[in-house]
Amino acid sequence: MESDMVMHHGGCHCRRVRWRVQAPSSVVAWNCNCSVCSMRGIIQFMVPSEKFELLGDSKECLTTYTFGTHTAKHTFCKFCGITSFYVSRAFPDGVSISLKCVDPGTLTHVEIKDFDGRNWESSYEREFAPRSQGAVSTELEETEALVDDIDGDMPVVIGAAVSNGISSEI
Ligand SMILES: [Zn+2]
């Protein structure tokens, strides 16, 4: 299951926003049909924020769209409009990387999974709940990290389980 950690580079279309991220060469990416993911056509994989680094003066070329709880930061390039990465609501310490904004050559394998974000609760149960059944303490449950988009539509389980409380606004 483990694959080598490599340095991926990527960014927006006009290349004013550039970043690098340390992540496996093989990743699982999520194709979500929720309101914002489907409009943007984003397929994303998650990384811890400490693995992600904006390069140069990229920050000055970014702007941010928020809605709902305004916790997630849907960052995009002011010039070309491309969302090459963003920060999700339930995993604000992490970064969601847009798969198609990664420079070619370093991703050796990508498993794309569909997530039915329009039916978040049932999709979550189906895709992620089984993994959380091993959780032994309620304490753990509260510290487990769920990554989702701002609507709670796009979860990626980083730790173990998730409480439904943060799961959805839909
Ligand atoms: Zn750009």
Measured distance CA(141)–CA(8) in Å, rounded: 32
Ligand 1 centre to CA of 79 (Å) is 5
Measured distance CA(72)–CA(27) in Å, rounded: 22
Same domain, 42 and 75: yes
Are 155 and 117 in contact by the 8 Å Cβ rule? The answer is no
Instruction: Answer with the residue of higher pLDDT: 71 or 62.
Output: 62
Ligand 1 centre to CA of 81 (Å) is 6
Q: How many CB atoms lie within 10 A of CB 170?
A: 14
Ligand 1 centre to CA of 12 (Å) is 5
Same domain, 75 and 9: yes
Same domain, 42 and 92: yes
Q: What is the CATH number of the domain that holds 31?
A: 2.170.150.70
Residue 73: give the domain boundaries: 5-113
Same domain, 109 and 160: no
Q: How many domains does the chain have?
A: 2
Same domain, 83 and 17: yes
Predicted structure pTM score: 0.71
Q: What is the pLDDT of residue 170?
A: 31
Ligand 1 centre to CA of 150 (Å) is 23
Q: What is the pLDDT of residue 156?
A: 43
Measured distance CA(8)–CA(96) in Å, rounded: 13
Instruction: Answer with the residue of higher pLDDT: 141 or 58.
Output: 58
Q: Last residue of some domain: 91, 113, 135?
A: 113
pLDDT band at 125 (very low <50, low <70, confident <90, very high): confident
Cα–Cα separations (whole angstroms), residue 106 to 12, 30, 52, 82: 17, 18, 15, 21
Same domain, 28 and 103: yes
Q: What is the pLDDT of residue 10?
A: 98
Ligand 1 centre to CA of 103 (Å) is 14
Same domain, 17 and 64: yes
Same domain, 35 and 76: yes
Ligand 1 centre to CA of 14 (Å) is 4
- Look over the chain and give the mean of its residue pLDDT values, rounded to a whole number: 77
Q: What is the pLDDT of residue 129?
A: 58
Asked if the model's pLDDT at residue 142 lies above 90, the reply is no
Same domain, 98 and 147: no
Query: DSSP strand E in 2-73: where?
Result: 5-11, 18-24, 26-32, 43-48, 52-54, 62-65
Ligand 1 centre to CA of 30 (Å) is 23
Q: What is the pLDDT of residue 91?
A: 67
Over range 81-96, report the average pLDDT. 85
